[in-house]
Chain A
Amino acid sequence: MAINPIAFFVFGGAALAFSMMVVLKKNPVASAFSLVMVFFCFAGIYASMNAHLIAILQILVYAGAIMVLFIFVIMLLNADEPTFDLRRTSNVVKAGAVAFGLAFVVMLAIVFKKSNIIPLNAGFSSEEVIKLGGNSKVLSQLMFSKYILPFELTSVLLLAAIVGAVAMAKRKTGKSS
C-alpha cells in the first residue's frame, strides 16, 4: 500500500529536523525531548502506512517507557557538564566522520534501490492483513502461536536482566576491599 506523499514528507522532514536537534542541542534534557519528537514522527509514518499497532507501540514503548528512563538517567546523573567538546576534535576527524556517515547512507540507498525483492511470505501484504482482521489481531495470533518461543524467551531475558540489575545495584561497595 502506497504511503500518502504529503504525510511522508511532513513526518519525514520533521523527523530529520528533530534528529538534528538531538545532536546539536547543548542541554541534554532538550536533546532527549527532541528524541521523543522523533519517535512521534516515526509513529506518524507507521500510521500512514496502515501499521497502526506499530505506531501505537512506538509511542508507548519508545516515547513512553524508554525515553522516560533516559530522562531519569540524565536527571539523576546531573549531566550538565558536556564531557565531549566538538571544538576540541580535529577537523580531519570531523570531516572523516561526516564522510563516512554520508558514504554509508549513499551505499544503503544504492543497495535498496538495486535490490529487487520478492518476499517469501506473500500473504502478508497490508491489503491481506486488513482482510484478515487488522494488524493487531494478526500480530497477536502469530505471537501466541508461531512465535511463542521467542515471546517466552524474551521473558527469560528480562528475568536475567533483572537479576543482573539487582546484582549490580544491591551490594554495598564498601564492604569488600
Chain B
Amino acid sequence: MELSKIVDPTLLTISAEHVAALRPYLAMFGGALIGIVFACFSLTNRKWLMAGLSIITCLVTGYYSVINMGMAKQVLFSGMMVSDGYSHFFNVLFAFIAALTIFSSFRYLDRENLHYPEYYILLLFSALGMMLLTSALDLIVLFIALEIMSLSVYVLVGFRRADRRSNEASMKYFILGAAASAILLYGSALLYGATGSLNIADIMKMATNTDHGIPMIYTIGSWLVAVGFLFKVASVPFHTWMPDVYEGAPTPITGFMTTGVKAASFATFIRILMSTGFGSEAAGLAGTQVETILWVIAVLTMFIGNVIALTQTQLKRMLAYSSIAHTGYLIVGLLAAPHTDLGYAPVVLYLVTYSIMNLGAFAILTILSGKSDTRLNLSDLSGLSQKHPWIAFALAVFFFSMAGIPPTAGFAAKYYLLYSAVQAKFIWLVVLAVLCSAISVYYYLRVLVQMYMRDPVGSENEGMTPAWSAFVVAMTVALTLQVGLLPSKMVDLSKRVVETLKQ
C-alpha cells in the first residue's frame, strides 16, 4: 500500500520563513481571540480597552505586513495561499481601513448605546477574511475567506438591532449574499469538474493546454464565479441590494463596507484575472467572452450609478450610487489592464485613493448624523460652512476627489486609469467614462452649494467634534491632498506591487 503517494511529509511541517510570512494573519487572528477572551471576562466595561486592543491589533498587522512586503514570494500550504508584495500591500490597506473605522465608530457607538465588544471582534474577523481573500490561490480557500469576510459584515450591518431599517438591510444583504455565495460555489464546482483542480494557476494551465478547445462547463463555471464577484462589488445587474444596505447599516460600517469589501473583492478579481491570463492572446478565457460581458457591465454600471445618484437627496444613498459608479470605472481599468504596459497598477491606485476618500466622507457623515442616523438629508447640510467650517472644508475635499477634480487624489487616480484605457485603445469606453464622470460632478457639487451658499438651518449647536473622528478626517484629508499633489510615490508603489504579482 503506497500511502506516501498522497501524503507528502513536508506538508505537515511549517518552516520559520512560512511563519514569518504568516505573521500579519496571525496578528489579526490573535487580536480577535484576545478580544473574545476580554469579552468573556467582562473586561469590556472600560470601553477604550476593546477599542485600544483592536487598534493595536491593526497597527501590529500593518507593521508586519509592511515588513513582509519586501520579502520574496512564498507559496504556503502546498499552493493554497501565497505571500507576496501584492497580498501584503492589501493587508496594509485592510488594517488601515479597519483602524480608521474603529476610530470613527468610537463616539458613534457611545451615542447609539451600542458599545458591545462583539462589534470590534467582528470587525477584526472581517478584516482577517479580506486579508485571506487577497492571498488565496485556491478556490476553496477563496470561498471560505469570502465567507469569513461576509458573515461578519452581515452581522455588523444589522448591529443596530432596535432599528427597523438596519434589520431590513442586514436581512436583505444576508439573503442576497448567500445566494451569490451559492452561485460562486457552484461555479467553482463546475471549474473543478472541467479541469480537475481547484488551484487557480492549475485551472488556467488546464484550460490553455487542451487541444480540443475549452469545455463548455469551464465557460459556464467562469461566468458563475464572475457573477459571484460582481455581486460583491455591486456592479449593475447585481446592484439593487446596495442602496438599501448602505442606508440601513450603521454609518461607520457603511464606510467599512464600501472600502474594505470592495477593495478585497477587486484585489481578488485582479489576482484571478492575472493568473488566468485574462486578455492575453493565448488565454483560454478569450473563448469565454468574459471581456465582452465586462465591457457591457462597465458601461451600464457607470451610467446607471451616476444617473440614479442625481435623484437622491439622502446622502448615504447618494454615496451608495456613486460607489456603484466608481465600480464601473474600476471595471474599465480591469478591461484595459492586460493591453497596456501599465498593467493593473491604475486599478490598484484607484482602489487605494477610493478607499481613503470614502473612509473620510463616511467619517464625516458619522459626525454629522443625529441619533439613529437621522439628519443625513441634503437639506441638513445647508450652511454647514458657517457652523463647522473645517468639516465643510474636508467634505468638500472628498467630494472634489470623488468627482475627479484636481488637485485631489481622485483626479490623479482617475487620470491614470483612463490614460491606461486610452493606451489599450478602448476609446469608446473612455468617452463614456468621462461623460458619466461629468454627470457625477453635478450631484457632488450640489452638496457643496448646499454647504457653502445656503443659510444654516436649525440654530442648535451640535457641540464639539469628537477627537477620535477628527483624527480620521484630518488624516484622510491629508492623504487625499498628498496623493493628489504628489502622486508619483503612490504610482510607483502600485506599480511595484503589481510587479510582484507577475513572478
Contacts and interface: CB of A to CB of B under 8 A. Distances in A.
A71 B140 CA distance: 29
Given A117-B194, A132-B5, A176-B114, A168 B215 contact: no
B392 to A, nearest CB: 30
B196 A133 contact: no
B161 interface: yes
Interface residues of B, number: 59
A145 B140 CA distance: 15
Contacts of A92: none
B216 interface: yes
A168 B114 CA distance: 12
A12 B161 CA distance: 44
B140 A147 contact: yes
Interface string B153-173: 011001111100000000000
Given A160-B125, A173-B162, 9 more contacts: A115-B217, A115-B218, A117-B215, A118-B210, A122-B196, A153-B141, A153-B148, A157-B144, A164-B155
Contacts, number: 133
A118 B216 CA distance: 13
B281 interface: no
A132 B3 contact: yes
B11 A148 contact: yes
A82 interface: no
B385 interface: no
Given A117-B193, A164-B151, A176-B162, A150 B7 contact: no
A166 B51 CA distance: 19
Interface string B1-39: 111011110011000000000000000010000001000
Q: Which of A110, A153, A171, A177 has the most CB of B within 10 A?
A: A153
B151 A111 contact: no
A87 interface: no
**10 closest pairs, A vs B, by CB?**
A120-B196, A119-B196, A115-B215, A167-B118, A164-B155, A176-B113, A149-B77, A160-B125, A149-B80, A115-B217
Contacts of A141: 3, 6-7
Nearest to A121: B196
A133 B162 contact: no
Contacts of A175: 113, 162
A49 to B, nearest CB: 15
A163 interface: yes
Interface string B101-125: 0000000000011101011011001
B148 A156 contact: yes
A61 to B, nearest CB: 16
A71 B289 CA distance: 44
A177 B162 contact: yes
B118 A150 contact: no
Q: Which of B6, B141, B155, B220 has the most CB of A within 10 A?
A: B6
Contacts of A105: none
A163 B118 contact: yes
B206 interface: yes
26 contacts: A115-B218, A116-B212, A118-B196, A119-B195, A121-B196, A132-B3, A141-B3, A142-B7, A145-B11, A146-B78, A150-B80, A154-B144, A156-B148, A157-B144, A159-B36, A160-B151, A160-B152, A163-B122, A163-B125, A164-B152, A164-B155, A167-B159, A171-B116, A173-B161, A175-B113, A176-B113
Nearest to A133: B1
B218 A120 contact: no
B152 A176 contact: no
Nearest to A148: B77
A30 B194 CA distance: 38
A151 to B, nearest CB: 10
A114 B220 CA distance: 12
- Contact residues of A: prevailing secondary structure: helix
A106 interface: no
Nearest to B76: A149
A147 B125 CA distance: 21
Contact of A150 (B144, B202, B216, B220): B144
Interface string B167-197: 0000000000000000000000000011111
A123 interface: yes
A34 B168 CA distance: 31
Contact of A176 (B112, B210, B215): B112
B206 A120 contact: yes
A153 to B, nearest CB: 5
Contact of B197 (A121, A159, A163): A121
B155 A167 contact: yes
A138 interface: yes
A138 B1 CA distance: 12
Given A115-B217, A119-B196, A132 B212 contact: no
Contacts of B196: 117-122
B145 A168 contact: no
Contact of B217 (A112, A171, A173): A112
A123 B196 CA distance: 11
Contacts of A166: 118
B406 to A, nearest CB: 42
A102 to B, nearest CB: 17
A161 B81 CA distance: 23
Contact of A138 (B6, B118, B140, B158): B6
A148 to B, nearest CB: 6
Contacts of A147: 80, 140
Nearest to A112: B217
B495 to A, nearest CB: 30
Q: Which of A138, A141, A147 has the most CB of B within 10 A?
A: A147
Interface string A22-47: 00000000000000000000000000
Contact of A156 (B3, B77, B128, B138): B128
A145 B3 CA distance: 12
Contacts of B220: 108, 111
B147 interface: yes
A107 to B, nearest CB: 8
A116 B215 CA distance: 7
A160 B215 CA distance: 38
